[in-house]
Amino acid sequence: MWEKTFQAIDEQYEHMVETRRYLHQYPEISFHEEKTAQFVCDTYERLGIPYKSEIGGNGVIARLEGGRPGKTVALRADFDALPIHEQNDVVYKSKNEGAMHACGHDGHTAALLGLAKALAPYQKEIPGTVVFLHQHAEEYAPGGAKPILESGELDDVDAVFGTHLWVNTPTGVIHTSKGAFMAGADRFEITIQGKGGHGAQPHQTKDAIVIASQLVDSLQQIVSRRIDPLKTAVLSIGTFESGHAFNIIADSAKLTGTVRTFDADVQQIIMSEMEKIIKGTCLSHGAEYDFNYDKGYPPVFNHKEEAEMILNRSHEADPSLKTEEVDPVMAGEDFSYYLLEKPGAFYFTGAQLPDHYYPHHHPKFDFDEKALPHAAKTLWQAYRSYQEHHQED
C-alpha cells in the first residue's frame, strides 16, 4: 500500500502546482484568511473527506479514518500570507495588493491538499487516522496553533508532524534536529518621550533621537556582555521612528525589535537587562519612556524519537532525498505549541531555486515547486514510520 500511495503523490504534482499558484495569487494575511479557509474546505468537500472549519479562528481540520487499526497522527500546514507587496514578475503574482505568500505557506497548503487527494482512494488500506491540520495565522502572534489546541479538536491526536519549505536548503535535502530546532521569538516596543525644539538650540531640548540612538548601541551589549557565551541569543532592533523635519529636534522616538532565545533563563536576563538600560539611559537625559515586551512563540523542541524517524526514514519516501541533522535556527514557529502537548517533529524541506534566491519574507521570495511532492511524501513517510513503530501498542 505504501508504494502505491507514494506513487499517487507524485501523480498529484501538477495539481499541487496549480493549487499553489492559485493560492499565491490570492493571499490573505494572518487572521483574515476566510477565502483561503473556504478553498481548503471546498477541496475536502469534493474529496468526500469529513472536515470542520473555524477551528480556533480560521483553522480547518479534516480526518481520513483508515480501514485498519492504528494511531491518530496530525500533519500540519499553515496558510496565512504576509503584509508584503510582491515584486516578482511571474504569471501567478499576487493579485491582492499589499499581501504576498512570501514564506511558502501556499506551498504547504498545496502539498497537504495534494496528499489528501492522493490518499483518498486508499482509505480502506490506511492504518489509523490521518488528521489534515490546516492552520491559520502562523506569521503573527498569538498565532493559530494555540487556539486550535485549546479548541480540543486535537485531544485524541497521538503525534503531530509538520514541515516548512525552506529556500536556504537545496531541493532534495531534508533538515531537522533532535531537540532544539527553532528559537523562541519575542517582540518589544520602546517609546521615548523627550522634549523637542529648534535644531539650532539643542541645549533647550531632550533629544529623543540621541537617546534612542544610545539605546540601540547599548542594547546590543546585552548579548555580548550579559549572556553566557555558551548560550544562544539574538537581540535585534527592527525599526527606528522619529522626527518630522530637518531643523526640528524630535521630542519622541519609537524602537521596535525582536529577541530570540532557546532558554527561559536567558530570556529573563535579557528582559531584565533591557529594563535597566532603558530606565538608566532615559533617567540620565531626563526623559520618560514606555517599554512593552511581548513573549511570543516558545522554541521548537523536536521529540528525539520522532525526529529520528524523519532523519532515518525519509529516504524511503523517495530514494533521491537526503537528510541532514543541522544546528538550530533563530527563526520562530508556533508549531512549538503542538510539540509542548504532543510527540512529534518539525523539519525543513529544501526548496531552493538556484537562479532566484531571495530569503523568506522578501518581496521577491519564491521556491522550487519540485519540492511540493517532497513535502507531501515526507509527511506521509513520517505518518508511516509512526504507525509502524507503534503497531505493537
**Which positions are catalytic?**
80, 138
Before 142, cis peptide (omega within 30)?
Answer: yes
Greatest extent of the chain over all pairs of C-alpha atoms, in Å: 81
**DSSP SS3 for 365:** coil
Q: Is 234 exposed, middle or buried (0-12, 13-18, 19+ CB in 10 A)?
A: middle
**DSSP SS3 for 277:** helix
Scan for cell 530569503, then name that residue.
359
**Do the beta carbons of residue 188 and residue 259 sit within 8 Å?**
yes
**Chain center to CA of 28:** 15
Q: Is 139 annotated as a binding residue?
A: yes
Using CA of residue 137, residue 81, residue 255, residue 182, what is the dihedral sign? positive
Q: Is 105 annotated as a binding residue?
A: yes
**DSSP SS3 for 34:** helix
Residue 61's nearest CA partner among 154, 164, 155, 123 is: 154
Residue 324's nearest CA partner among 357, 352, 350 is: 350
Radius of gyration of the chain (CA): 23
Rounded CA gap, 377 and 35, in Å? 27
Q: Is 389 annotated as a binding residue?
A: no
Q: Where are the beta strands (DSSP E) in the chain?
A: 51-55, 59-65, 68-78, 127-135, 159-166, 173-176, 180-182, 184-193, 197-198, 233-242, 248-249, 252-261, 288-297, 300-301, 322-325, 344-350
Exposure class string for 188-216: b at 16+ Cβ within 10 A, else e = bebbbebbbbeeeeeeebbbbbbbbeebe
Segment holding 151, helix H or strand E: none
Binding-site members are 103, 105, 139, 164, 361
Binding-site members for Mn(2+) are 103, 105, 139, 164, 361
